[in-house]
Amino acid sequence: MTNSKFANEVLKGLSLKNKKLPSWLIFDSRGSEIFNEITKLENYHPARCELEIFNIHKSALSKVFSSAPTQLIELGSGDGEKTMVLIRELIQDGVEIQYTPIDISEGAIEQLVNTLNQNFKTPSLNVTGLVADYFEGLASITNNSDKRKMVLFLGVTLNNMDIPDGKSFLKKLHQSLQNDDYLLIGFDLMKSPKLLYQSYNDPLFEKFNLHLLDRVNECLGANFNKSFFVQQCHYNPKTQAVESFLYSTRKQTIHIKALNKDFEFAEWEGLQTEQSFKYSIQSIEKLACESGFKIAENFYDSQRYFVDSLWQVIK
């Protein structure tokens, strides 16, 4: 991500009446490390449930690859833990795999490629990690291959997008793919707000969200002091999203050198740093249809808290 894109997002977000920054700004190498620690928390159900989905349904997923030569591409791959379950299954089933993980976090890609090289010493697996934005990465592949594609978009990455942004992301993705290509996309489903509260209020979330202030200090020369902010998450029934806020514990002025601008925070003013919209199966079906895909199959965990939905491109 360029510094000017980062700067524009920060300027836009901190100038809003209700200050709000997108969570993808948190993801440098350190941000990815903290996120990986979150995915290991017992209470953080999305990662646990999605890993279970891959373990339960790996054989069905592998069959999709056996039916035609398929290239595996992952957008926002992170640590690739779930994908490795699938890769192991594909190798066992004798499938040749060309895997391209794409992530803006350089540390995440480096770590993933090293782990794959250590864990899978076989010529059946060919890995090309790309440190890039989703669509830049995808464009470089789209132009180079005529194999059918299986794009993975796992975790809660779509849940984190504003609803209109999610729709335009999926429409753009549809345009980048060919008829009959596949998209396997993760959705955290609506469930008890009590459970959502437990999932999102571990001290690690505070560390993760406060890291955004480190990022703004580092990239734009700001003077945020992390000890003057506290973080909390709640489920908001009006937006149907879990929302995370950093609250300013005092009245303070933040100067951002690169923007040559001051931003005022009132005592206990909130800065929204994350959101995770919760979906129903009906809303997922509507979204697939509106963005040009057909649902081939839904893969659930045993509690039906999460779904990985396999979509096929219709052109």
Ligand X SMILES: C[S@@+](CC[C@H](N)C(=O)[O-])C[C@H]1O[C@@H](n2cnc3c(N)ncnc32)[C@H](O)[C@@H]1O
Phi, psi of 289 (to 5 degrees): -65, -45
Using rule CB under 6 A, residue 265 touches ligand X: no
Closest among 39, 79, 64 to 299, alpha carbons compared: 64
The nearer residue to ligand X, 44 or 263, going by C-beta atoms, is 44
C-alpha to C-alpha distance for 277 and 56, rounded to whole angstroms? 25
Tokens standing for 20?
């709000």
C-alpha to C-alpha distance for 79 and 139, rounded to whole angstroms? 22
Q: How far is the CB of 238 from ligand X (least distance, A)?
A: 23
Which residue from 6, 9, 24, 234 is in contact with ligand X, where contact means CB under 6 A?
24
C-alpha to C-alpha distance for 190 and 283, rounded to whole angstroms? 11
* CB count in 10 Å sphere of residue 122: 10
The nearer residue to ligand X, 102 or 287, going by C-beta atoms, is 102
Using rule CB under 6 A, residue 133 touches ligand X: yes
Question: 163-176 vs 281-290: helix axis angle to the nearest 10?
Answer: 50
Q: How far is the CB of 55 from ligand X (least distance, A)?
A: 15
Q: Find the binding residues for ligand X in span 35-54 (CB under 6 A).
A: 35, 39
C-alpha to C-alpha distance for 4 and 20, rounded to whole angstroms? 18
Q: Residue written as tokens 């928390």?
A: 41
Tokens standing for 252?
């303070």
Size of the site for ligand X (CB under 6 A): 19
Using rule CB under 6 A, residue 134 touches ligand X: yes
Q: How far is the CB of 283 from ligand X (least distance, A)?
A: 20
Q: How far is the CB of 37 from ligand X (least distance, A)?
A: 12
Piece of the chain touching ligand X by CB under 6 A; list 13-21, 65-73, 148-156, 288-296: 148-156
Piece of the chain touching ligand X by CB under 6 A; list 70-78, 194-202, 236-244, 274-282: 70-78
Judge whether 65 and 152 are in contact, CB under 8 Å: no
Piece of the chain touching ligand X by CB under 6 A; list 96-104, 141-149, 264-272, 307-315: 96-104
Q: Which three-class secondary structure state does DSSP give residue 105? A: coil
Using rule CB under 6 A, residue 156 touches ligand X: yes
The nearer residue to ligand X, 77 or 199, going by C-beta atoms, is 77
Piece of the chain touching ligand X by CB under 6 A; list 100-108, 141-149, 188-196, 304-312: 100-108
Closest among 191, 142, 160 to 306, alpha carbons compared: 191
Residues at the contact surface with ligand X, assessed by CB under 6 A: 24, 27, 32, 35, 39, 76-78, 102-105, 108, 133-134, 154-157
